[in-house]
C-alpha cells in the first residue's frame, strides 16, 4: 500500500508547487523595509557666518551654462527662499538639488551682488 501511495504522488503532484509557499510573519513595528529614515533637520546659519562659493558648470547639460551656489548651510525652506530670490534677481530659472542652488545661465556677478547685499561673503570660483 505504501508503494501505491508513493507512486500516486509522483503521478499526480500536489496542486500547489512548493516554490509558491511564502513565510508569513508579523512584528509589532510592521514592515520595517517601508520606513524611510528621517533626515536630520538643518538649522540655518546667519549670512554673516557663511561664505558662498559661485561656480560655473556646463558638464552634463548639453553645453548650457549653469551657475552653482555652494557651501551654504541653510534649512530646506531657507534654501528654497534664497533660490527664489536669486532667480528673480537674475531673471532666470533654476532649482535646488542636494543643498546646491542651480541658476540657469552665467549670472555669477549678479548673484554675488545679491548675496553680498544679504550679508553673505562670496567667492567666485573658476574662470
CATH superfamily of 47-124: SUI1-like domain (3.30.780.10)
Domain definitions of the chain by residue range = 2-34, 47-124
> DSSP secondary-structure letter at 63?
T
pLDDT tens sequence across 49-68? 999 999 999 888 888 999 99
Q: Which three cell numbers stand for residue 70?
A: 555652494
Q: Which residue has the higher pLDDT, 18 or 87?
A: 87
Name the pLDDT band for 13 (thresholds 50, 70, 90). low
Q: Which three cell numbers stand for residue 40?
A: 536630520
Residues 6+ apart with CB under 8 A from 34: none
Amino acid at each position: 500500500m505504501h508503494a501505491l501511495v508513493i507512486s500516486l504522488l509522483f503521478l499526480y503532484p500536489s496542486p500547489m508547487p512548493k516554490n509558491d509557499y511564502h513565510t508569513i510573519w508579523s512584528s509589532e513595528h510592521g514592515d520595517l523595509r517601508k520606513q524611510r529614515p528621517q533626515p536630520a533637520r538643518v538649522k540655518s546659519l546667519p549670512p554673516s557666518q557663511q561664505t558662498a562659493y559661485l561656480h560655473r558648470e556646463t558638464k552634463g547639460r548639453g553645453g548650457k551654462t549653469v551657475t552653482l551656489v555652494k557651501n551654504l548651510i541653510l534649512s530646506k525652506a531657507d534654501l528654497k527662499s534664497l533660490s527664489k530670490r536669486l532667480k528673480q534677481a537674475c531673471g532666470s530659472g533654476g532649482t535646488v538639488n542636494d543643498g546646491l542652488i542651480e541658476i540657469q545661465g552665467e549670472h555669477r556677478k549678479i548673484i554675488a551682488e545679491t548675496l553680498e547685499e544679504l550679508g553673505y561673503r562670496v567667492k567666485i570660483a573658476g574662470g
